[in-house]
Amino acid sequence: MKKVLWTLAVVVTILCGACAIISHGNGKKIPLGKDADNVKIAIAWRSDTDNEFCTNMVEAFKAAGVDVVVLPQVKAPYISYDGTTVSASCLDSAGIGYLNGEYGAMVRTKGNEGSNVSSVLTGVKGVVFTGGEDIAPTLYAVQEDWHHVEADIDYNAARDVSDYLTMLYCLDHDIPVIGFCRGAQMLGVVSGATMIQDIPTWLAAQGLPYNYEHRRERAGGENYRDYTPHTVTIADSSLLSKFCTTDTLQGCPSWHHQAILSTKNTPLRCVGITTTSGIDMVEAVERTDKHCAIGLQFHPEAAIAKHLGKGVYNGNANVFMPYDDAVGIFKTFIDYCK
């Protein structure tokens, strides 16, 4: 479900080196500024840069001292495109909008073979994966059918391909990554984790009640569904613990209906949990074999936007995580990208 608040104007960089350059989302080369202390951080491609999951991220990094740009789209030569979108021939036959099994398998097996990813990521020192649409279940290590929840049909095949290949390249080349919500799930999918496609459905299958702790239940007639706050406990001695001032993060903004189910038999480690209906659910993961590869199921960038009084966020910032705690996550990521 896309949540649009305001139009993201021109996203410029104040990243690294007076003579360095980086590609903006439209493919134009933009000179980088001098004030980023040799850090060049970029947001993985998305076509809707006015979406709040993107605009909040820009604000969060700006608050942490770095301006970011959106990367160009990563495309695979074995996928057919109509402009920036994936052609219908590569999508499911029911018209839901996700990669069909054949092309999902191609992405997983061929990966970046012949893609433009190395050009896209030239000079980039860290990549941010933002929230947004559901990830095609055909990209899972064990492919699945879609969740069949009609109210939550929200797929973007072009973004799935671009994100998967970008994440894969970053992991292969140990480029620091941090993913939020969908971005954390993409880290899980690329790493082979098992997934929950719909939390309410999954809990019901376990015979458990659900109070919509991860995303507010839709109210009739509302135009905007705000985040819901919950607590996340961070594992001691984890990389993520170095990003946080406390091992118990209160008021983490949450807005998702999917999640990582298990990291068993993967290079991932679960390093953050929240308890829902008596079950410890994954809220943060990290790759133990990489310099910095972290996924957060929650949205600290939204807490920053709320504390800054952006958009509709005025008035309820006090129920979400403190500004300094949220900004600290981004400042630490910047340090790991240096």
pLDDT digits (tens, 9 = 90+) for 106-133: 999 999 999 999 999 999 999 999 999 9
pLDDT over 90 (residue 166): yes
Task: Report, as an integer, the average pLDDT of 185-207.
Answer: 97
User: What pLDDT is stored for residue 287 in this prediction?
Assistant: 98
From residue 98, how far is each of 28, 101, 137, 193, 203 by CA, in Å? 29, 9, 8, 19, 24
- Enumerate domains of the chain plus CATH numbers: 21-337 (3.40.50.880)
User: What pLDDT is stored for residue 28 in this prediction?
Assistant: 31
Greater pLDDT, 14 or 264 = 264
217: confidence class by pLDDT, cuts 50, 70, 90: confident
Task: Report, as an integer, the average pLDDT of 224-242.
Answer: 94
Task: Report, as an integer, the average pLDDT of 187-198.
Answer: 98
pLDDT digits (tens, 9 = 90+) for 274-301: 999 999 999 999 999 999 999 999 999 9
pLDDT over 80 (residue 23): no
pLDDT over 60 (residue 2): no
pLDDT digits (tens, 9 = 90+) for 169-188: 999 999 999 999 999 999 99
Percent of the chain scored above 90 by pLDDT? 81
User: What pLDDT is stored for residue 219 in this prediction?
Assistant: 67
Closest CA to 190 of 248, 69, 104, 115: 104
pLDDT over 50 (residue 8): no
pLDDT digits (tens, 9 = 90+) for 304-337: 999 999 866 667 899 999 999 999 999 999 999 9
Greater pLDDT, 166 or 223 = 166
Instruction: Average the pLDDT over each of 32-36, 95-99, 115-119, 180-184 and give the range with the smallest value.
Output: 32-36
